[in-house]
Amino acid sequence: MRLLADMAIFVEVGNTRHFGRAAAALGMPASTLSRRIKALEQELGVPLIHRSTRSFALTDAGIACYERASKLIAEAVRMREELADTAALASGHIRVGVPLDLAQTIFLPIFADFVQSNPGISLEVLNLQGQPSLLAEALDLGFMVSHQNPLTDSSQWSRRIGVFSRKLFASRQYLKRKGVPTQPAHLANHDCILFSAGSLQKRWELRRGREHCNIDVKGVAAANSVGLLGQFAREHMGIALLPDFLALHPLFGGGLTRLLPDWEGAPAHIFAVTPGQLLPGKTRRLVDFAKAQFGIQLAKAEGRTS
């Protein structure tokens, strides 16, 4: 608030009894300080300082304002310090939501390592579907995935944790029955397993280097869980856009065959999302930890490292 900031400037002038020394203490030009004091006087409707080249003195209104503003600014400083101390604390309980397939493949070791290295923190992990309101779900933190659509709730604070690629996969039995597509346009004649995020994603964006194409697809199966897409593909129901760590995982894809190896789907981005921007220390620590560990766990899940 500009009024509070101007009062803080006025209090510093009252403390030093000198415009130049107050400006130096605040790290601003004396002309700027003088202009802000005049703006404060106009805001309050009374003169606060007797202006003279020989002496410095507060008016009666200035003395009253200084006394009350000093207490107000001191309280604001104390509140800031207390909130900073609270934010720095890393203890307590965190309710965190994450899609079940990501929890089982990527986030389980992240959560385990986090709890072991932060003994004052406990976690309650809930299955997160889509992009719900964290306030409505009473969650402190959610890890959400954006595929081809952006995050929908702009009132929630978000920070990108990582990104993973998506590729085309199908079972050998499906390919034996339907044939192997050799170019993106062939997908229009195949059963494609669709992801549902509020609405079915019936158009797939594929990329090969700098080349992009959009293919309208259709199929007999859809789900709002990427893990289910992999399981549907394993049951020979069609072609799915999947990350490697799900396509190869025995609980999900179970060793599907990759198609169109030169092409990939639009990458998926994982975001840490909280109801507001002011994060408690425990939540901020988990967000920072997850961002630092995501790439490591992704590489392990994809078999790129031991």
Of 59-73, 131-145, 164-178, 272-286, the one with minimum mean pLDDT is 131-145
Write down the pTM of the prediction.
Answer: 0.67
* Per-residue pLDDT reduced to its tens digit, 12-35: 888 888 888 888 878 888 888 889
* The dihedral sign for the CA sequence 279, 280, 285, 290: negative
pLDDT at 79: 73
Report the alpha-carbon distance of residue 95 to residue 176 in Å, rounded. 46
* Residue in the structure block whose two tokens are 């085309």: 168
Residue 42, φ and ψ in degrees, nearest 5: -65, -40
pLDDT at 296: 94
Report the alpha-carbon distance of residue 154 to residue 93 in Å, rounded. 26
Which residue did the predictor score with more confidence, 129 or 87? 129
Q: Tokens for 304, please give them.
A: 């790129």
* Per-residue pLDDT reduced to its tens digit, 30-47: 888 889 999 988 988 999
| Share of residues in the chain with pLDDT > 70 (%) | 89
Mean pLDDT of 274-301: 89
Radius of gyration of the chain (CA): 29
* Per-residue pLDDT reduced to its tens digit, 242-272: 999 999 899 899 889 999 999 999 899 999 9
pLDDT at 173: 96
pLDDT at 150: 55
Of 76-80, 94-98, 177-181, the one with minimum mean pLDDT is 76-80
| Share of residues in the chain with pLDDT > 90 (%) | 50
Domains of the chain by start residue, with CATH: 2-88 (1.10.10.10), 92-306 (3.40.190.290)
* pLDDT beyond 70 at 215: yes
* pLDDT beyond 70 at 151: no
Which residue did the predictor score with more confidence, 93 or 138? 93
pLDDT at 158: 83
Mean pLDDT of 67-71: 88
* Residue in the structure block whose two tokens are 């920072």: 288
CA 146 to chain CA centroid, Å, is: 11
pLDDT at 25: 78
Q: Tokens for 50, please give them.
A: 């007797």
Q: What angle do CA 276, 96, 80 make, to 5 degrees?
A: 35
* pLDDT beyond 60 at 57: yes
DSSP the chain: -HHHHHHHHHHHHHHHT-HHHHHHHHTS-HHHHHHHHHHHHHHHTS--EEE-SS-EEE-HHHHHHHHHHHHHHHHHHHHHHHHHHHHH---EEEEEEE-HHHIIIIIHHHHHHHHHH-TTEEEEEEE--SS--HHHHT-SEEEEEESSS--S-TTSEEEEEEEEEEEEEE-HHHHHHH----SGGGGGGSBBPEEEESEE--EEEEEETTEEEEEE-B-S-EES-HHHHHHHHHTT--BEEE-HHHHS-TTTTSSPEEESTT-EEEEEEEEEEESSSS--HHHHHHHHHHHHHHHHHHHHHTTS--
